[in-house]
Structure 1
Amino acid sequence: MITRRKEPFRYSMQEPVECQLELTTVNRMSLSGKLIPAQVIDISKNGCKIRSALDLKASEHFIECRIHLRLNEQQFIFPGQIRWQRNLDGFSHDYGIHLLLTEDEKEQINVQLRGLAAERKIIVM
């Protein structure tokens, strides 16, 4: 399990936010991305935790993905890598995603997250 909790803020959603997970490569083999329903549990400019019913066995595979997410009525597609998986109850799985964003994309996400925090839709951790 690899974590990077050095960023100054992580935002926890008051209610999980619906998103879609698109797998782009597994073990360096390209996939045609089918969108998988998921929920964002928390997010920062460097990563997020999502929940899905799909068991990807992430500890056994190198998985690159895209997160399709709407924040403040703006649609985003964030590229990332799955860093860890935690099985919750046999039906749900949490995933840690390291987001691979440019500095401009990081600033965009910060602006959106600050707006959601002002509306009390997310909690700053």
Structure 2
Amino acid sequence: MNSRRNEPFRYTINPPMTCWIEIKSIDLKPVNSKLAEAELIDISKSGCRIQTGLNLHAAEHSIGAAVHFQLSEESYTFPGEIRWQNPHGPESFHYGLSLQLTVEEKEKINVELRALAAARRIVVM
């Protein structure tokens, strides 16, 4: 799959922080899933990259998901869609998620990410 990123900044979380992924739909069919632990590798106001041991076969399926994480004191849950999957080691996968955020959510996360970058807790790429 091709990247459609057009935002100017992507923030790298170093070291990656714990997050959780929740599968909401597979091929447009709603599913109920438990939260699965993952690591948040990088994030922007329109997407993020996570790492997990789950093999979701994203190339063969359209997968709707929600990512849950905490920045500073604020907890976030953002809906999105898995855009791509790449193997990362023998038992791990990287996933690119396109996040579906409101204008207010984009601005709120942008402010928090800039503050974390200024505090050198994350890196601007």
Common fold: TM-score over 0.5: yes
- Which TM-score bucket, shorter chain as reference? over 0.9
Identity across matched positions, percent: 47
Q: TM-score, normalised by structure 2?
A: 0.97
Q: Which residue of structure 1 aligns with residue 103 of structure 2?
A: 103
Q: Give distance in 1, aligned partners of 2:67 and 2:37.
A: 10
Deviation at 1:53, TM superposition (A): 0.5
Q: How many aligned positions are there?
A: 125
Q: Which amino acid aligns with 1:73?
A: E
Q: Give distance in 1, aligned partners of 2:33 and 2:101.
A: 19
Deviation at 1:120, TM superposition (A): 0.5
Q: Show structure 1 runs of 5+ residues with no match.
A: none
Q: Give distance in 2, aligned partners of 1:48 and 1:89.
A: 20
Q: Which runs of 4+ in 1 moved over 4 A?
A: none
Q: Which residue of structure 1 aligns with residue 58 of structure 2?
A: 58
Q: Which residue of structure 1 aligns with residue 68 of structure 2?
A: 68
Q: Which amino acid aligns with 1:2?
A: N
Q: Secondary structure at the match of 2:59?
A: helix
Q: Give distance in 2, aligned partners of 1:63 and 1:117.
A: 31
Q: Show structure 2 runs of 5+ residues with no match.
A: none
Q: Which residue of structure 1 aligns with residue 122 of structure 2?
A: 122
Q: Does 1:43 align with 2:43?
A: yes
Q: Give distance in 1, aligned partners of 2:92 and 2:31.
A: 23
Q: Which amino acid aligns with 1:122?
A: I
Q: Which amino acid aligns with 1:60?
A: E
Deviation at 1:119, TM superposition (A): 1.2
Q: Which amino acid aligns with 2:108?
A: Q
Q: Which residue of structure 1 aligns with residue 89 of structure 2?
A: 89
